[in-house]
Amino acid sequence: MTSSSLSPSLSQPADRPQRSGVQALRRKMVDKLATGMSWLAMLIVVFVLGSILWTLLKNGLPGLTLSLFTHSMGAPGGGGGLANAIVGSLLQTGLSILLGAPAGLLTGIFLAEYGADSKLARTVRFVSDMLLSAPSILIGLFIYMLLVEPFGHFSGFSGAAALSLMAMPIIVRTTEDMLRLVPVSMREAGIALGAAKWRVILFICVRAARGGIMTGVLLAIARVAGETAPLLFTSLGNSEWSLDMRRPMASLPVAIYQYAGSAYQDWMQQAWTGALLVTMGVLIINIVVRVGIRGGRS
């Protein structure tokens, strides 16, 4: 056997450290590149969100006066406010969550705990996903044909119904997903102790997933609180003070829509302030609920 036949086998150990060093250097470079791109994406998102908040604060804070909360919408230059629009938004959004949250929660529980992969569950899940992706103006038109045209008048109830249809699929999807994340061992432990299935679901599964379920409700509130298109077909809007849900009712999104395109400076100012109120309202709700959930866990 010649020395040339041994050279490949003898050269391999010398090449391996070199190849390992190149691979390690490549991995470090790829890791640094991926980390840098992640930081860049995060900074872009924070910059965009910060720019939106700064624009709202800069243009909305000058109109944040006491009269804004004590006077109803009025004529240009008449010193009107947004009190009726604020109350109208609170009433319609609150009623929509009261209607949509229980239905969405129960539907999500059925899909996660009872339906499994049955034909009925697949159908319900498909319909829920269709509602989740449906344009808001289409939902408003559907409620208009169902509740407005037959009765001959717009109303706050029809506006709340349209918003509840938009909130429901979000709560359904998040409830189902959160309940599926609960370990099977927790269910088995409850059943082994002799608890009925509905008690296991209510006091163990839902309790364990309450943080995610509350996040779904918050996402639903965040979506419906700023919707304009469905309210134009249902509650329409009202420049006068009214707490009657059977009549046309004002709302902040509709008031912003009406005022933002006007040629009057005071209306444009109120549009910016109304947008700031909607944004800050959703932000405050998120902070309060998250702090409450953390306090409950501790």
The per-residue pLDDT for range 173-230, each reduced to its tens digit, is 999 999 999 999 999 999 999 999 999 999 999 999 988 898 889 889 988 998 999 9
Q: Model's pTM, two decimal places?
A: 0.84
Question: What value does the mean pLDDT take over residues 244-265?
Answer: 93
Residue 44 or 289, more confident? 44
pLDDT band at 1 (very low <50, low <70, confident <90, very high): very low
Left if phi > 0, otherwise alpha if psi is -120 to 50, otherwise beta: which for 116? left
Side chain identity at 108, as an amino acid letter?
A: G
Q: What is the DSSP letter of 227?
A: -
Per the listing, tokens 């009202």 go with 238
What's the pLDDT score for residue 14?
A: 56
Per 3-state DSSP, the chain is made up of helix, strand and coil in percentages (nearest 5) of: 80, 0, 20
What's the pLDDT score for residue 10?
A: 47
pLDDT tens string 38-90: 999 999 999 999 999 999 999 999 999 999 999 999 888 888 899 999 999 99
Per the listing, tokens 């190849």 go with 19
Task: Report domain extents, the chain.
Answer: 3-63, 66-297
Taking the CA atoms of residue 282, residue 283, residue 285 and residue 287 in that order, the dihedral angle to the nearest 10 degrees is: 160
275 within 8 A of 56, measured Cβ to Cβ: yes
Q: CA nearest 209: which of 123, 95, 293, 125?
A: 293
**SS3 assignment, position 183:** coil
Per the listing, tokens 């991926």 go with 34
The strand ranges marked E within the chain are: none
172 within 8 A of 111, measured Cβ to Cβ: yes
CATH code at 66-297: 1.10.3720.10
181 within 8 A of 209, measured Cβ to Cβ: yes
Residue 181, burial from CB neighbour count under 10 angstroms (0-12, 13-18, 19+): exposed
- Helix orientation angle between 210-225 and 265-297, rounded to the nearest 10 degrees: 180
pLDDT tens string 52-62: 999 999 999 99
